[in-house]
Amino acid sequence: MIDRLCIIGVGLIGGSLARALRAAGFCKEVVGGGRDPGHLQQAVDLGVIDRFDTDLAAAVAGADMVLVAVPLGAMQSVFSQIRDHLEDNAVLTDAGSAKGSVIEAAQQAFGSVPAWFVPGHPIAGTEYSGVAASLPDLYRDRRVILTPLEHTAAAAVERVRAMWEAAGAVVSEMDVVHHDAVLAATSHLPHVLAFALVDSLARLGDTEELFAYAAGGFRDFTRIASSDPVMWRDICLANGDAIQLLIDRFIEDLHLLRQAVHEQDGARLLELFESAKQVRDAFVGK
Amino acid sequence: MIDRLCIIGVGLIGGSLARALRAAGFCKEVVGGGRDPGHLQQAVDLGVIDRFDTDLAAAVAGADMVLVAVPLGAMQSVFSQIRDHLEDNAVLTDAGSAKGSVIEAAQQAFGSVPAWFVPGHPIAGTEYSGVAASLPDLYRDRRVILTPLEHTAAAAVERVRAMWEAAGAVVSEMDVVHHDAVLAATSHLPHVLAFALVDSLARLGDTEELFAYAAGGFRDFTRIASSDPVMWRDICLANGDAIQLLIDRFIEDLHLLRQAVHEQDGARLLELFESAKQVRDAFVGK
């Protein structure tokens, strides 16, 4: 149980957690923190949070659990603002999509990474953003990865785990570097490719005419290109090394495929497509 | 109205048209043609066709409309088999995803492209294939593009248009080369990228562990990598020039994005992502 949860950044991710914990009766009070009072008032009006404070020092006062759910580029600033105002019993966690950079931000802000800070990442979302898009069941049966360091307090990890489990998530732990490599592959690279594809096609000219003839496959394939640009800019900056490595490998693989098209090598194309279909069908359990 | 429709290749595309036309009462009889009697019997059992013949010459006998819905690589062979057996009043059309290659196949098989052959392309589908996946409303409000040549008979175009409209589709006409360029951009390139992404990630190693942490975005993004490999091999062979051109442009654009990641150029990344989001949101009418 949480007595007072403070969520800094009440958008899709933070708002959905608040809704889930309230629905589960796991949390007595939710206080929102952030920069935009209009946005935070909307969260109050929607019943997602009880009250808010744009002064983050005041927002975290009295909270036994603090979740920072802001874009990665804002993490260090938030940590610095709350550093001297957290309760002694408070556990701090975050929801950033890359973990190495958040740990670095915590180190910078706190001098060293606190034992009661548990880096976390809920692997859930939609292409929508903002508190109005938040859903009480966003985390139901979804994965949450925690990446505690060696000196992270076991009790703090357990409290964060219990919070996400109360929201319906399946929680696991992973090494920071491994997390960032895995997510670069399954999330960051696909998002980068979706953005790049839409940009690339837009440069061809008349997008209205072009997209008029696009089918459902294109709609699905580009869905993630409607995601929040600021969040994705920050992810590309925060996990740049892993993402670059994967872009490079992808470009190499795409060159091979292009070569097979150029050489009219039907056998090679069939092999590539069959292998991809097999892997993808296995993934969705066909 | 169609008295007897012959569909050669009774899979997702041909089967869905048969279901739609029967539901609309637009067609008295549907005869299936193809190679696999077991597969064609399944189409009879499902009520999609009335009867079938694996001898294509016999299958087209008495048909006033013939749709060839086979992979692009099989078009020329089918055209050659039916060439001397079509009725005088028969209109021939196809459902290939690239049109230049089908017109070339017709030219090869018939000596010259017949005036009563109307090249066509229904822009619809799912990642599933086979007659069991066919749906009566697959074409409802979807686009069908016809690419008649200068000497194509207007009456033949009208009959094919009426058929697709009876299935609920919105029919338009387009120049062959333009069709193949547009579809390379909105369909062929995305499919190639989806196949390439899954292959590229599979080469990283433990796909089971990797995909365990993949979210809904990845699922949607890679959905089209579950499409029929033979069909997509044939599309890559048939529309190779247009596809290569787009792969090359995409690789160039991806290099620029990679460069922005490498240089930690947040302003450039934000600009790229915002532009993509704007275009994509406009496409889905947000």
Residues B226, A281: C-beta atoms closer than 8 Å: yes
Give the containing element (helix H, strand E) for B163: helix B154-166
Question: Which two three-digit tokens encode residue A273?
Answer: 């497509």
State the Cα–Cα distance between residues A193 and A207, nearest whole angstrom.
18
Residues 6+ apart with CB under 8 A from A224: A127, A190, A191, A194, B217, B220, B221
Give the containing element (helix H, strand E) for B250: helix B240-262
Q: Is there a contact between A184 and A239 (Cβ–Cβ < 8 Å)? A: yes
Q: Give counts: helices (H), strands (E), chain A.
A: 13, 9
- Position B77 scores a pLDDT of 98
Closest among A21, A23, A55 to A160, alpha carbons compared: A21
State the Cα–Cα distance between residues B132 and B154, nearest whole angstrom.
35
> What b-and-e string marks burial along A208-240, b requiring 16 or more CB atoms within 10 Å of the CB?
eebbebbbebbebbbbbbbbbbbbbbbbbbbbb
Which regions of chain B are under pLDDT 70? 286
Residues 6+ apart with CB under 8 A from B201: A185, A186, A189, A279, B207, B210
Residues A240, B145: C-beta atoms closer than 8 Å: no
Three-state secondary structure readout of A123-136: CCCCCCCCHHHCCC
- Position B128 scores a pLDDT of 81
DSSP A57: H
Sheet containing A2-8: order of strands: A51-53, A27-33, A2-8, A65-68, A91-94, A117-118
Residues 6+ apart with CB under 8 A from B140: B20, B167, B168, B169
State the Cα–Cα distance between residues A226 and B273, nearest whole angstrom.
9
Taking contacts as CB-CB distances below 8 angstroms, the residues of chain B near A206 are none
* Coil vs helix vs strand at A211: helix
Question: Residue B263 burial (CB < 10 Å; 0-12/13-18/19+)?
Answer: exposed
Taking contacts as CB-CB distances below 8 angstroms, the residues of chain A near B143 are 212-213, 215
Taking contacts as CB-CB distances below 8 angstroms, the residues of chain B near A218 are 186-187, 190
Taking contacts as CB-CB distances below 8 angstroms, the residues of chain A near B191 are 217
What number of CA atoms fall less than 13 Å from residue B14's CA on the CB side?
Answer: 28
Which regions of chain A are under pLDDT 50? none
B123, B137, B213: best to mutate for the A interface, most A CBs within 10 A: B213
Tens of pLDDT, residues B176-200: 999 999 999 999 999 999 999 999 9
Closest among B253, B103, B160 to A194, alpha carbons compared: B253
- Position B174 scores a pLDDT of 96
Which residue reads 């490595």 in tokens? A245
CATH assignment of B2-174? Answer: 3.40.50.720
State the Cα–Cα distance between residues B176 and A175, nearest whole angstrom.
53
Comparing A2-174 with A178-283, is the CATH topology the same?
no
- Position A286 scores a pLDDT of 55
Residues B229, A73: C-beta atoms closer than 8 Å: no
CATH topology of domain A178-283: 6-phosphogluconate dehydrogenase C-terminal fold (1.10.3660)
DSSP B32: E
Strands B91-94 and A2-8, how do they pair? unpaired
Question: Which two three-digit tokens encode residue B90?
Answer: 């028969």
Give the containing element (helix H, strand E) for A237: helix A229-238
Strands A143-146 and A120-122, how do they pair? antiparallel
A72, A99, A186: best to mutate for the B interface, most B CBs within 10 A: A186
Residues A199, B253: C-beta atoms closer than 8 Å: yes
Amino acid in the structure at residue A30: V
- Rounded to a whole number, what is the distance in angstroms from the first to the last CA of chain B? 39
Domain ranges of chain A: 2-174, 178-283
Residues B282, A207: C-beta atoms closer than 8 Å: yes
A279, A281, A284, A286: best to mutate for the B interface, most B CBs within 10 A: A279
Taking contacts as CB-CB distances below 8 angstroms, the residues of chain B near A209 are 182
